[in-house]
Amino acid sequence: MERILIAGCGDLGTRLGRLLAADGHRVWGLRRDPLGLPSALEPLAADLTRPDTLGALPAGLTLVFYTAAAADRSEAAYRRAYEDGPRNLLAALAAQGQSPRRVVYCSSTAVYGQEDGGWVDEGSPTRPQGYTGQRVLAGEGWVAGGPYPATTVRLAGIYGPGRTRLLEQVRRGETRRPEGLPVYTNRIHSDDAAAALAFVARLPAPRRLYLAVDDEPVDRATLLLELAGMIGAPPPPSGPAEPGRGGNKRCSNRRLKAAGFRFRYPTFREGYRALAGELGLLGGGAASPHS
Ligand SMILES: NC(=O)c1ccc[n+]([C@@H]2O[C@H](COP(=O)([O-])OP(=O)(O)OC[C@H]3O[C@@H](n4cnc5c(N)ncnc54)[C@H](OP(=O)(O)O)[C@@H]3O)[C@@H](O)[C@H]2O)c1
């Protein structure tokens, strides 16, 4: 049985924690307000930006995940969540003489600044255009340079239960299909995101870096059209592309799949269909144009 800490245990961390607890491990969920965590997780109230609150981590941790997110969109919040937090946590672990076998840092494909719609993978250069990607990338550096074996998982845009904004916007007719060249979007269902984090931690010899993204980067225009078809909403009208919307790249999951990971929702079609079904939105009845 492992002793596992999930630092910043929100939506993704909780999904991950449930998977690990179901494997028979002891799992602590750390957040400032841990009261709502499910009973499978042991709550740990602490603030990753305040070292004085990190003094009594559970002893003998064997595995640590870092899944905290910024509290708001400001650069200061990103710095706190992705730099101060990991740095403080690593220092606290070291000060307590802990020796986890691995620290898994949850990062983002926002660390890529590519704009040409080409493929990127773990070997591609990272030149994030905005401070969000820059701060997340800096956090990768803190964890990779820390005292413990580290693996970074760069997640694409997460959707799933509770993350239904795009589907709702399509339903309300609030989206526009970008005109011109394809603008790619990279996605992963939250269940697959949590499963991917658990998967890499279970590998006997994980690599230092994985991209976690589904099989099909899809251009935004196609995505919106297919979602509209799926829920029987009118096709979104076309309009000028919104500039700088998360870059324009296609993220490859080849390394993760080569390691043996299998997606429950290999593309947005399976994932959004499940989500739309849960929300009772499939009643529009219209099948996606390509299914
Ligand atoms: N959303 C996406 O599309 C996406 C894409 C790529 C990567 N990611 C990454 O996925 C990870 C998890 O995201 P999520 O959606 O699960 O976020 P979330 O639901 O907002 O959870 C983040 C958790 O971090 C905790 N937290 C924040 N600041 C903290 C602090 N100072 N001390 C202790 N806990 C703190 C929050 O709890 P309290 O407020 O109670 O402290 C919250 O429970 C993040 O690293 C995010 O960057 C997300």
Q: Tens digit of pLDDT for each residue in 9-57?
A: 999 999 999 999 999 999 999 999 999 999 999 999 999 999 999 999 9
Instruction: For the chain, report the end-to-end CA distance as a whole number of angstroms.
Output: 44
Q: Identify the bridge partners of residue 103 per DSSP, sorted by sequence position.
A: 64, 150
pLDDT at 288: 41
| Ligand 1 neighbourhood includes 158 CB (under 6 angstroms) | yes
Give mean pLDDT, residues 208-213.
98
Q: Where would I find the beta strands (DSSP E) of 121-231?
A: 150-155, 157-159, 177-178, 184-185, 187-189, 209-212, 218-219
pLDDT at 285: 45
Distance (angstroms) between ligand 1 centre and the Cα of 199 equals 19
pLDDT at 282: 87
pLDDT at 244: 56
Please say if the pLDDT value at position 291 is more than 80.
Answer: no
| Ligand 1 neighbourhood includes 132 CB (under 6 angstroms) | no
- Candidates 5, 11, 12: which one to mutate for ligand 1, based on the most atoms within 8 Å of Cβ? 12
Please say if the pLDDT value at position 180 is more than 90.
Answer: no
Please say if the pLDDT value at position 242 is more than 80.
Answer: no
Please say if the pLDDT value at position 245 is more than 90.
Answer: no
Distance (angstroms) between ligand 1 centre and the Cα of 8 equals 6
| Closest C-alpha among 53, 5, 188, 208 to residue 108 | 188
Please say if the pLDDT value at position 290 is more than 90.
Answer: no
Distance (angstroms) between ligand 1 centre and the Cα of 71 equals 8
CA distances from 130 to 113, 142, 229 (A): 8, 19, 33
Position in ligand 1 atom list of the atom nearest CA 14:
16
Closest residue by Cα to atom 7, ligand 1, is 108
Please say if the pLDDT value at position 235 is more than 80.
Answer: yes
- Candidates 35, 47, 67, 103: which one to mutate for ligand 1, based on the most atoms within 8 Å of Cβ? 67
Give mean pLDDT, residues 217-237.
95
| Ligand 1 neighbourhood includes 16 CB (under 6 angstroms) | no
Its sign, for the CA torsion 35, 36, 37, 39, is positive
- Candidates 14, 31, 53, 88: which one to mutate for ligand 1, based on the most atoms within 8 Å of Cβ? 31
Please say if the pLDDT value at position 97 is more than 90.
Answer: yes
- 264, two tokens: 């429950």
Average pLDDT value for the chain = 94
| Ligand 1 neighbourhood includes 49 CB (under 6 angstroms) | yes
Distance (angstroms) between ligand 1 centre and the Cα of 266 equals 24
91 CB-near residues (< 8 Å, 6+ apart): 51
- Taking only the tens place, the pLDDT of each residue in 120-178 is 999 999 999 899 999 999 999 999 999 999 999 999 999 999 999 999 999 999 999 98
pLDDT at 186: 97
| Ligand 1 neighbourhood includes 17 CB (under 6 angstroms) | no
Strand, coil or helix: 187: strand
Distance (angstroms) between ligand 1 centre and the Cα of 9 equals 7
